[in-house]
Amino acid sequence: MSPTATESSTKREIAVEIPAEEVSRETQNLIQKYQKLARIPGFRKGHAPASIIRQRFAEDLKSDVVEALVPRYFRKEAEKLGVVPVSQPRVTDLHIHDGEPLRFKASFEVMPTIRLENYKDLKSEKPEVVVTEEEVQQSLDNLRERQATFTSIEGRPAADGDFAQVSLDGVPKEGDAESKPVHMDEVLVEIGGKNTMPEFTEHLRGAVAGDERTFDVTYAADAQEQRLAGKTFTYTVKVQALKQKQLPELNDDFAKELGEFANLDDVKKRIREGMESERKHAAEHEAKDKLMAELVKRNEFEVPEALIDHQVDVRLERGLRALQSQGMKAEDIKKMDFARLRAGQREQAVQEVKASLLLDRIADEEKIEVSDAEIDREVDALALQTKQSAEAIRARLTQDGALDRIRNRIRNEKTLDFLYRQSA
């Protein structure tokens, strides 16, 4: 084997020569296999001469020799040079002739050499988290709203603050053939409510159960529902009943109805703690994002295209799953411009790959590792979530190679936590 190698930051090309005797040995092994299986007119199965097999299946034998020997000798040469490919090799200049060495060139990518710069003096913001009494009270009021009950109104027409229980039919004005009719049953409309369209308030104020009102509604061009934006509909609204909202009193009894709370102060305390925790988490997440952006900015290096392509795949798959969960149909997904989508994901994918490689390099430097107990906790959580045994989850993750990915993710998270703590 006579190797040569050329180098760039992440790209490699090696020339490999496989000895003629090794090529001949592999060819003979393959001929024997063909003899056992080939059906050739004039010969019983398994009794065709080697010369006939060699002549009849010449091109197939060459392909099989290449398939058997090229990956094996490529791996040997890569190991000899001390490089770890991160992409499948692209084989060129293939030379295979009887009695001669098999020669080829293989182009592939390797991990970049990362020389860490200034990661120990990174600084991040630690904003003070403040939750005001007004915010706690607003959250408490929202809880109170969710516990509201509705009682029937008898003997008077609807007034502001009341709720009309209605069924409605809306049809687009003449000339609007594209819009579809609207039908809804048992809708509660708050008379004078901040989220109630003025036309509904105007025509339902003063109504009583059994009334029917017909009126037009013109939607703003920037209406939240795209199908209604800028359109005019004629609505026929039937009032089924009038309701009055009853809010529970804010007292200790209300607190106990919400759950395991001793009193109202206990509820307020839990609300405050929850809001503080949520804001601390959001602030920490934002600070870590800025920290990683600065780390990437300080450390310039070339990223293998294979890793970028893989990360683009990950981002696209995540996005498509989100679209499917929102109800997008498979046929509509197939019509999407995937070349444009991939191009749009590339820049962010590069940043994510760089961040991951840097965290991995820092973890090596700081000797940050993931214990078996940490992996066990992750597996147990997945088992609980999917209602399977931990053993079954572990077996599947090991087979899929996902266990190593989980270990790498936890290691990166621990490394980012380390950077965040030291950046105070």
Task: Indicate the domain borders of the chain.
Answer: 4-109, 149-246, 264-422
Compute how many other C-beta atoms are within 10 angstroms of the C-beta atom of residue 70.
19
Instruction: Find, among 145, 125, 197, the residue nearest to 168 by Cα.
Output: 197
0.85 exceeded by the pTM?
A: no
Instruction: Find, among 419, 105, 394, the residue nearest to 290 by Cα.
Output: 419
Which strands make up the sheet holding 11-18, listed edge to edge? Answer: 4-7, 11-18, 102-109, 90-95
According to the model, what pLDDT value does residue 174 have? Answer: 73
According to the model, what pLDDT value does residue 40 have? Answer: 73
Is the Cβ–Cβ distance between 65 and 102 less than 8 Å? yes
CATH fold of 264-422, please? Trigger factor, domain 2 (1.10.3120)
18 contacts: CB under 8 Å, gap ≥ 6: 1, 69, 73, 101, 102, 103
According to the model, what pLDDT value does residue 222 have? Answer: 86
Q: For the chain (length 424 residues), average pLDDT per consecutive 10?
A: 55 94 92 77 69 80 93 94 90 92 95 87 86 95 92 94 95 77 92 94 95 93 82 94 94 91 94 95 93 93 93 92 85 87 93 95 95 93 90 88 90 95 86
DSSP result, 372-403: HHHHHHHHHHHHHHHT--HHHHHHHHHHHTHH
Question: Can you read off the two tokens belonging to residue 24?
Answer: 């001949």
- Radius of gyration of the chain measured on its C-alpha atoms: 35
Token pair 């579809």 in the structure block, residue: 180
According to the model, what pLDDT value does residue 1 have? Answer: 43
**Amino acid residing at 68:** A
Cα(98)–Cα(102) distance, rounded to whole angstroms? 9
According to the model, what pLDDT value does residue 44 have? Answer: 65
11-18 and 102-109 beta bridge pairing: antiparallel
4-109 maps to CATH 3.60.40.10: no
According to the model, what pLDDT value does residue 229 have? Answer: 83
Is the Cβ–Cβ distance between 254 and 144 less than 8 Å? yes
According to the model, what pLDDT value does residue 4 have? Answer: 45
CATH fold of 149-246, please? Chitinase A; domain 3 (3.10.50)
According to the model, what pLDDT value does residue 333 have? Answer: 84
According to the model, what pLDDT value does residue 56 have? Answer: 79
DSSP result, 299-338: ------HHHHHHHHHHHHHHHHHHHHHTT--HHHHHTS-H
